[in-house]
Structure 1
Amino acid sequence: MVLDQALAEKVIKKLENVQPYHVVVIDHEGIIVGATDERILGKRHWDAIHRMDEYRRLLSSPSGGKSRNTVKEGGNGRCLFVKNELVGAIGLTGLTEQVIPYLEMTRTIAELVLEWEAEQRQESIRKATDHQVLRRLISPHKDRAKLSEALALHGIDLSRPRTVVLIKFSPIQREGVVKQEGRNQESIFQDAMRNMLSSLRSRFSFEYDLLLPEPEHRLVMILCADRSRDPIGNESKLVQLCEAVEEDSRVNYGIALKAVVGRRCCCLEDYDGQYQQMMLKFELGEFLFPRTPVLLGNSIVLGNIAAFVPEREKRSIAEHVLGSLLRSNQKDLYLETLEVLFACDMNSTEASQKLFIHRNTLQHRLKKIEELTGYSVYHIDDILTLRLGYLFYRSFNS
């Protein structure tokens, strides 16, 4: 169980009515996640950290036993356990001799509150369907601890990267066709869409593909496992797959389909708010490219413009933009640097972390890229030119 801010607030609210002192709630890492005095939230509580470390050492040693009574606690704080699991600590502010009479009662009440909340969370998680858990995953994350528990309980492993794909259906307008076998067009469309959704399960049948159909909104979100180790190659294969699905939908089921291939997600945080993001990308793509059935959501304008340029022109533009970089002995290194920088929305700190290099090393690489190409990542026109040249190069080298 993770003792988070939401749980800490419930503990504090309960204790405010039964004892007169300020309460401090600390999580298992020693961070203050709840306090009557909100100014200390987020700070480390070193006394609690030392005490919890002592518990862990003794409880993990062969001779230490498994009892929480192994450590004799003193001072103004006490460690918290839920079902024999050390989850954090709690303390009261004031003179030690004054707060001691309240400490054991404080710990008991806090542990009862946490145990009850843990049981309620487990019950709600058990009742949740796969559909509800996936919907929470790609919505704004309000309670990551609870979401993580739900994902684990439903066997959804996020350590495998997945790309978010949005597919939306609509009727093909045919003049003069109003009824068929006594049914209206909407009823016919709904039947065709249900059949198409069933067909999608065979199309997206990789072991780690996750489908989230929402027939009431005429759409399905798909979290697609990687089809290629190379991110650009993976994106290209997903586009091809969506194009095949679009043709199948139109020819065999008589319904129109538009798809957006979005972000590749590698951890829980990457999925945060992706539902809303994909819907916005869909609306923008529908406005800018109404006749294009499959869109690249990560580069809604440049990426889809690139789709209309013939390969010969792509090669020519890529060669003109990237120039000497493509003939450099460190070509792959510089191309990877650009790829990660673009994926991080030009955030150099985040890019250096993902590349596992120091920020100064990244700056050195970017300077070298500028020397080889003549374009700088610090000027907006140059960034767009580099991005387009990179997209063209990857389109025929994926």
Structure 2
Amino acid sequence: MDELTKSIRRVGELLTNTVGVVDDTGLVIACTDESRLGRKDREAVALIESGDTFRVTGKNTWQRLATRPGLSYYCFIEGSDPVALDYLGLLSEWLGLAVRDWGNESRRDNLLRNVLLQNELPGEIASKARNLGIIYTAPRICILVRLEHRDSGGECVEVISNLFPDRETDYVISIDDRNIVLIHKLTPDDSGEVNRIAVEIRDNLSTELMTKVSIGIGMPAYNLRDCARSYRESALALEVGGLFSRDRSIVYYEKLGLGRLIYQMSPTLCRIFLDEVFPNDSYEALDRETLNTVEVFFACSLNGSETSRRLFVHRNTLVYRLDKVQKITGLDLRNFDDAVLFKFASMVKRYLERQGGVLGGAPNWLNRP
């Protein structure tokens, strides 16, 4: 109903008369006088019960909108003079088109949402998409925007929709009040375009609404049905990224690396692995300063000189700390194989701590076809 609300707002900028729309129960769903929103209008209820398509009642004039079968809406304007009647006639035509467009857009959004959540029968997706004017076979990618706080008013959806006004190539779908999906149609020269789009969404939501977001990006899908896979991948990118790449606001599924493997390991296997790499809980004996040194050492690709420079410590201090790690864990991080083992094991430990060590394996939806 966003288009209808926007239309009424534009009318309010042009006319001094109060103008609004009610549904088939007499509930005011859009009005230039916002105090009337969400209330039932007695005049509207009487008009609907009578079956009339036009009526002048009290201070208002009413007319039924020309919509598709199954949709009944009535437009009203304050006044009954000839000028008000002319305005009402024009508004009824304009708002009638907005309601019909909203009906088509609503059915399209419901279909796409059901496709992403795998609530549609695979054999029916192509025919339903064709009826709604959606191209079934086309390269697309799902970009999942997860909000830090709930978008109860739909403002975030509106901001993203305004960034991508072409409804033939880009579809903005609200999954719930914290997750919004952009289904973007890829083009042959789309190199770097997806990252630009993600950055644009993040920056606009931050600038306009002061909203912090995390963005997950799936792999390309080449038909509408496969968009469900791309959506699952974007969701997994956010889940794994939240564990192992907390400093990154944009996470690609294809760049998850070891994190994706760890996320699908069972807790039992993880604990067995940790007991082998860090016997007797040796990892717990490492203090925060030493662990921070190891983290920077890995970030510098095991380069001792660069690590010392970033930590503002003497190289001998770094050597002492690395020797300390070797003494406690038995792993020499200056050796590539030992460094890989320590890195992998520390990621597994972080995963278990984040999940509370009680997971029963990867979520079921990850294993769905």
Band the TM-score falls in, shorter-chain normalisation: 0.3 to 0.5
Give the alignment's TM-score, normalised by structure 2: 0.38
